Structure 1
Amino acid sequence: MLWAGMASAYAGEVAPAAAEAKDASDWHYGGFVDSAYLVDFNFPDNHNFRSRSTTRKVNQFALNMAQAYVRKDLSEQSPWGMEFGVQAGYDANEFAFLQGEQKVDGSDTLKHFSRANVSYLAPVGRGLTVTAGLFNSLIGYESLYARDNFNYTRSWIADYTPYMMFGAKVSYPISDEFTATLFAINSYFHLSHPNDQPSYGFQGAWKPTSRFTLTETFYAGPDQTDTALRFWRLFLNNIAEWKGEAVTIALSYDIGTEQIAGRPGDPRAFVMGGSLFTRWNVSGPWSLAVRPEFYWDRNGRWTGNEQFVKAVTSTAEYKLSLEKTTALFRLEHRFDESTGAAGGFFKRGDVSPGVPGLTGSQHLLLLSLILSFDS
């Protein structure tokens, strides 16, 4: 009661305009429209980028994503927060499950939600943050949304780790340099439904300086119909980032394994991938980004095809800002090479009726425009 009285007295001394600005600063809203034209020089008849869940459409105009959101930030003065967002577009169709996985009921509707969570900053020690609902994934460096990334197309490790999580997480800053997070979620991909048991994980984020951050995230859970412990999926995501005034460099490395139930001998699947993210703000609105990467799906458990992929992506960006509106223009070239028993990319012509032909490599050239409004 004493604290409430003091707070009321203080509020009465603040000028109305300042009070309104303070209240408004907690709330944010906005949205964006993301469109692109990707030229695939293999000219596949089905217009698809094989083994991908984002930027799948080639040689045609694609509205890849449109999103609208509202968010309330939390603080010691206002400990409750929330996020809510909706989305649509090609990139919203297949991002939340692996090929062949059973989907949750209503997934065709649920895929259009980008955020739906509440959070609370509890007055415990340095501040314990509890979040429940649909929130941004703790695994991975890149976002589902191209506007948040250095390059327009996403890396292979991004497409096959969760972009979002559904469940609950608890974060606590153990020190000024280290933050620990525990989470319990419904599944590896939030719109897949292999069983009714939850999955679990831990993240440690170490920031010894203002420029360097090291993040380790471990996931463990049952992602098959058989939920026996020996069939659990284990996954480790490692990220090291150095952020300078004009240059940012990040290295992300993933490794995962899972013993496959129902196949002869219950074989153990492995996946491994790495990406080097680099971005240079050349001058003012101009930036360049380069991303070499590799991805090995030994058993085809993640991509649906046994393959080893190497890729290099180069991006030039021009950013035009006017008050709260931003236009991002990106010109990007991407080269992918896929080898292995089931590797390859679609090309023009069928090997038999209804069976597209494959080739070992692919060049993409794209132009994209992302229009954003953020309060």
Structure 2
Amino acid sequence: MPTAPLIACLLSSPPAVGDAQAPSERVEIAPVANADADAGTDDDSPAAASSERADPNTSPDPAPAEPSSDDAKPKRGWQAELFVDVAWGFNSNSPDNHVYRGMYTNPRTNELAVNNVGAFIRHRARAGEPWIFELGFHAGAAVDALTSGEPIPGGDDGKFAGAEVFKHIALGNVGVEVPKAKTVFAAGVFEGPMGIGSFWTRNNWNYTTTWESNLVPYYLAGAKIVQPLPSGFELSGWVVNGFQSYADLNSAPSGLVGLSWSRDPTPVSSPRSGTTAVTLATHVYFGPEGTSLAAKDWLVYSDTWAIYDFDDHFSIAAVWDLGVDRAGRANELQSLYTGGAVFARGTVFESKHAKLDLAVRPEASLDRDGRFFGVDQWLISGTGTASLSLYDHLMLRAEYRFDHSTATEGFFYQHELGSDDDPGLATDQHTVFLALTGWWDVWF
């Protein structure tokens, strides 16, 4: 993988009955579903949704829960979805290039930006139809930022296609679930399972994503196998092109293994509502990210997170990562990255068609040798977000975020200083985002 920053985009509690939502590989931080809006849902609706992986908060993209009996499974397995994400961001450093350095999901500031528009269609495995299908396309400033580090096949001589075409493929995979064993085999382009944070911001508690989330892969190209185990455990294995890459980085693939555990949700007592749930997961990525295939030159990256849903109205979560990579260094020294975040989300107002969530998130990341962010530094941040969800199709957000870098020459762009090598970059940055996200989906 190129040594340029690989900064790509939380946690979700189980959505309530009636939320037609799609599964997500990554842990997502999204506002919880509006329980009052669930009344009147028929038996054919994607009820009691839960994500493909355990999610810390309510994700707008969980899969419908499967009843215990195959005969009782949902009769509708297809979902179509459209969405748009628009935001205006104020940056206290007023960079002339308008770039929020190191951020993929919200890369533009001091302007009105269309960060992402997309369309998806999905098919869930169900009784009589054990096959899986996902196809999605997206475009916008965030998509351009996300794929900016993609290698070009053929180097400078590469022409015509490459990332300029593939970057618009948000998802594109097919698979099958073995009915008895529930083993899943699939291949294609997937959302990455590591980290806390979805690239599609409406899935998250906060509008901007953490430094940790912008580091681990938002997407992976390859094949995977997932096997549920007794007592709430699940084991997964992946073979992929690289650490977020459509193109082949070299002649050898990389690998990823994951293990998660979820405790069955437990109903809470009045006056609280919903369920209490706990989920833990860990992933390890390993493989060559450069021209050398020797094991000593591999990137090895571990990702561990935990989620606790107190009930439908309050959740907390935490993530911490550790990665080492020699990255072709002549001095034989390995680079080191470590970092993570703590999340908390609570619902402060709820009615039939409106819900207001507040979320806070402190975080810290150390890129000791500048392997991922390009600068040897600590990045320390704090974020607060208010999210107003309306009619299950619209979300209005206001967010304040403070970032601090310990880099000697600074890290954040300011005024006319818009190059990574400019002396006198800013060490602090204040941002305010006002965002509007709309989506429409249908099951059939």
TM-score for the superposition, normalised by structure 2:
0.75
Pick aligned residue for 1:121 from 167, 174, 177: 177
**How far apart in 1 are the matches of 2:204 and 2:222?**
25
Does the aligned pair in 1 maintain the 2:44–2:76 contact within 8 Å? Answer: no
Aligned residue for 1:31?
A: 82
CA shift for structure 1 position 170: 0.7
Equivalent in the alignment of 1:242: 308
Task: Note if 1:202 corresponds to 2:257.
Answer: yes
Q: 1:349: Cα distance to partner? A: 3.6
Partner of 2:278: 212
C-alpha distance in 1 between matches for 2:322 and 2:305: 12
Quick one: higher RCO (CA 8 Å, sep 6+), 1 or 2? 2
Aligned equivalent of 1:260, options 301, 322, 327: 327
Q: Distance in 1 between matches of 2:441 and 2:409?
A: 43
Hey, what does 1:4 align to over in structure 2? none
Aligned residues: 351
Matches within 5 A, 1:163-312: 163-191=218-246, 193-210=248-265, 211-243=277-309, 244-261=311-328, 263-284=329-350, 285-312=355-382
Residue 102 of structure 1 corresponds to 151
Q: 1:44 maps to what in 2?
A: 95
Structure 1 residues 240 and 350: alpha-carbon distance in aligned structure 2, compared to 1, 3 A threshold: closer
Distance 1:20 1:293 in 2: 38
Measured in 1, the distance between the counterparts of 2:220 and 2:109 equals 28
The residue aligned with 2:27 is none
Could you tell me how far apart the structure 1 residues matched to 2:44 and 2:385 are?
43
The answer on 1:77 being equivalent to 2:77 is no
CA distance in 2 between counterparts of 1:45 and 1:159 reads 23
The answer as to whether partners of 2:394 and 2:439 remain within 8 angstroms in 1 is yes
User: Residue 24 and residue 66 in structure 1: after superposition, are their counterparts in 2 closer, same or farther (change >3 A)?
Assistant: farther
SS in 1 for 2:126: coil
Q: Which amino acid aligns with 1:60?
A: E
- Corresponding residue to 1:334 among 401, 426, 433: 401
Aligned to 1:67: 118
Amino acid at match of 2:427: G
Offset of 1:342 from its aligned partner? Answer: 4.9
In 2, Cα distance between equivalents of 1:216 and 1:20: 32
Letter in 2 for 1:253: W
User: What letter corresponds to residue 97 of structure 2 in structure 1?
Assistant: N
RMSD: 2.3
State the match for 1:152 in structure 2. Answer: 207
Report the secondary structure of 2:165's partner residue.
helix
**What's the counterpart of residue 270 of structure 2?**
none
Compared with structure 1, are the counterparts of its residues 97 and 238 closer, same or farther at alpha carbon in structure 2 (3 Å cutoff)? Answer: farther
Q: CA deviation at 1:56?
A: 1.3
Question: Structure 2 vs 1, CA of residues 357 and 340 (structure 1 numbering), >3 Å: closer, same or farther?
Answer: closer
- The whole-number CA distance in structure 2 between the counterparts of 1:23 and 1:248 is 28
Q: 1 CA distance for matches of 2:287 and 2:295? A: 8
Cα shift at 1:23:
8.1
Q: Distance in 2 between matches of 1:193 and 1:300?
A: 24
Measured in 2, the distance between the counterparts of 1:20 and 1:237 equals 34
| Shift in alpha-carbon separation, 1:147–1:356, aligned structure 2, 3 A | farther
Instruction: Look up the equivalent residue of 1:242 and give its one-letter code.
Output: Y
Identity of aligned residues (%): 31
More moved, 197-206 vs 104-113: 104-113
Does structure 2 conserve the Cα–Cα contact (< 8 Å) formed by 1:96 and 1:192? Answer: no
Report if aligned partners of 2:74, 2:126 keep a CA contact under 8 Å in 1: no
CA distance in 2 between partners of 1:19 and 1:216 (Å): 34
Contact map agreement 1:134 1:167 (CA 8 A) in 2: yes
Q: Is residue 2:385 matched to residue 1:315?
A: yes
CA distance in 2, matches of 1:90, 1:265: 38
Higher strand share: 1
Over 3 Å counting, the alpha-carbon distance change for 1:308 and 1:94 in structure 2 is same
Which amino acid is 2:86 matched to? S
| Contact preservation (8 Å) 1:347, 1:359 | yes
Distance 1:374 1:50, change over 3 A: same
Q: Aligned partner of 1:369: which letter?
A: L
Question: How big is each residue's C-alpha offset from its partner over 1:161-183, in whole Å with a ceiling of 9 and x where there is no partner?
Answer: 10111111111111141011111
Cα distance, 1:20–1:164 mapped onto 2, change above 3 Å: closer
Deviation at 1:24, TM superposition (A): 6.1
* Residue in structure 1 matched with residue 59 of structure 2 by the alignment: none
Deviations 1:65-91 (A, max 9, x none): 001000011024310110000000011
- Partners of 1:165 and 1:230 in 2: how far apart? 23
| C-alpha deviation, 1:264, in angstroms | 3.0
Matched, 1:140 2:195: yes
Paired residues of 2:81 and 2:121 also in contact (CA < 8 A): yes
User: Deviation at 1:44?
Assistant: 1.2
Distance 1:117 1:29 in 2: 15
Q: Note the C-alpha offset of 1:340.
A: 2.3
Cα deviation for residue 46 of structure 1 reads 1.4
Return the TM-score normalized by structure 1: 0.88
SS at match of 1:108: helix
Flag the 1:233–1:97 CA change in 2: closer, same or farther, 3 A.
Answer: farther
* Amino acid in structure 2 at the alignment position of 1:308: W
Which secondary structure state, in structure 2, belongs to the residue aligned with residue 363 of structure 1?
Answer: strand
1:347 corresponding residue in structure 2? 414
Please give the secondary structure, in 1, of the residue aligned with 2:142. Answer: helix
- C-alpha displacement of 1:193: 4.2
Superimposed CA distance per residue, residues 205-236 of structure 1 (whole angstroms, 9 cap, x where no aligned partner): 11134200000111111101111111000000
Using the TM superposition, give the Cα deviation of residue 196 of structure 1 relative to its aligned residue in structure 2, in angstroms.
Answer: 2.4
